[in-house]
Amino acid sequence: MHELSIAHSLVETASRAAQDAGVQQVQAVHLRLGALAGVVKEALLFSYDIAAEGTVLAGSRLEIEDIPVAIHCPNCAVTSTLASIQSFCCPLCGQPSADIRQGRELELVSLEVSDEQPTYP
Amino acid sequence: MNSPRILEIRRSVLEKNDVLAQNLRARFTAAGVLVINLVSSPGAGKTALLEATLRHLRENGIGAAALVGDLATDNDAQRLARSGAPVRQIVTGGNCHLEADMIETHLADWGLALDSLDCLFIENVGNLVCPASYDLGEHLRVVLFSVTEGEDKPLKYPIIFNTADVAIITKIDLAAAVEFDRDAATAAIHAVHPGISILETSAKTGKGMSNWLDYLNTCRNSFALHRITP
Ligand SMILES: Nc1nc2c(ncn2[C@@H]2O[C@H](COP(=O)(O)OP(=O)(O)O)[C@@H](O)[C@H]2O)c(=O)[nH]1
Ligand SMILES: [Mg+2]
Ligand SMILES: [Zn+2]
């Protein structure tokens, strides 16, 4: 179980970005999670709330986009996504390929924020 | 009420570890040290293989050292130190994997002269899940699994097998006793990592050790291995 440690890294990176941008409140954090990242989504969601406590991210939503693995087939010259990470074969022709083009992502994409706007008389 | 706006970030969550690992790898490469990260489930035979490997490398005048991660004990480090090679323990205190900053810190405290080394082995914590996500600055990630673990292990832990550079089937001396199905094991490994090299070893009888040592030697000589970030 290393999702708590991942969640802490995520919160650290996101809070720094929020602070740098002068953001007061974060509504949501958007993350891209590759099927090969080695992170269990449910465990990360659970850990996120714990890690976010007491930070600018407290109470925010973690929105995770699942990214499937994509491999490039030299036979077909086509990149296809895999239905399962237990078989690295081209879905078109069946040729095995280790040429991975997508699926390792563990990427903080964006924050949904609201700014404290100054009030004018 | 302000309407929310989107603040673009686009950064890897493991950026800190990855940058540290890349710096470590550059240092290792500059010093001419081949660094090997050994991963497996607990008891697959990492320490046994490493004991035999260190002994052999020393006998052949190749400078080798080992960093050993363990949840709580220094038993493995003691076993490895008997080979005469420099060995250092990293007690992770319950952490289920090693991270690049642990390698950096322990190397600094250790005061090991990297220039005088040829190979540095890192025995990761016994775990087939978490170590997959953490680049330690190694050139070579080696995944081990023993004939007693079941041929379908790679299908159960595809990511660690996929991110490894070579797979070693260990305890091959027990293959007949457990009716190990070599073809099924090979098919399972290649299903999750097409084309990966597969070696077989027995730390007990020495079978396959020369292939493994040859493999290491080839890697040391080429040094063309630049791992992509896992
Ligand atoms: N028969 C046999 N037993 C082995 C071999 N390698 C390791 N073992 C045994 O398997 C157990 C676990 O080995 P160890 O090296 O501590 O595994 P680690 O947890 O991966 O470091 C020990 O009891 C070893 O003696 C081998 O090649 N053959
Ligand atoms: Mg061990
Ligand atoms: Zn194809």
> B23-73, pLDDT tens digit by residue?
999 999 999 999 999 999 999 999 999 999 999 999 999 999 999 998 888
Of B97, B133, B158, the CB nearest to A37: B133
The interface predicted TM-score of the complex, written ipTM, equals 0.89
Q: Which atom of ligand 1 is nearest to the CA of B42?
A: 19
**What is the domain class of B4-228 according to CATH?**
alpha beta
Q: How far apart are CA B136 and CA B120, in angstroms?
A: 12
Considering only CA atoms, which of B15, B223, B26 is closest in space to residue B137? B26
Any idea which fold A3-68+103-113 has?
A: hypothetical protein PF0899 fold (3.30.2320)
**Where in chain A are the domains?**
3-68+103-113
Per-residue pLDDT tens for B113-156?
Answer: 999 999 999 999 999 999 999 999 999 999 999 999 999 999 99
CA-nearest residue, atom 8 of ligand 1? B45
Q: What is the pLDDT of residue B228?
A: 39
Q: What is the pLDDT of residue B17?
A: 95
Per-residue pLDDT tens for A97-107?
Answer: 999 999 999 99
Of B4, B8, B194, the CB nearest to A98: B194
Helices (H), A1-64: 3-20, 41-52
Stretch B175-195: mean pLDDT = 98
B195 to chain A: which residues are within 8 Å by CB?
96, 98
Torsion of CA B130, B131, B132, B138, to 10 degrees: 160
CA quadruple B73, B75, B78, B83: dihedral sign? negative
Per-residue pLDDT tens for A55-90?
Answer: 999 999 999 999 999 999 999 999 999 999 999 999
- Tell me the average pLDDT of chain B: 93
CA distance B138 to chain A (A): 18
By C-alpha distance, the chain B residue nearest A96 is: B194
Neighbours of B170 (CB within 10 A): 26
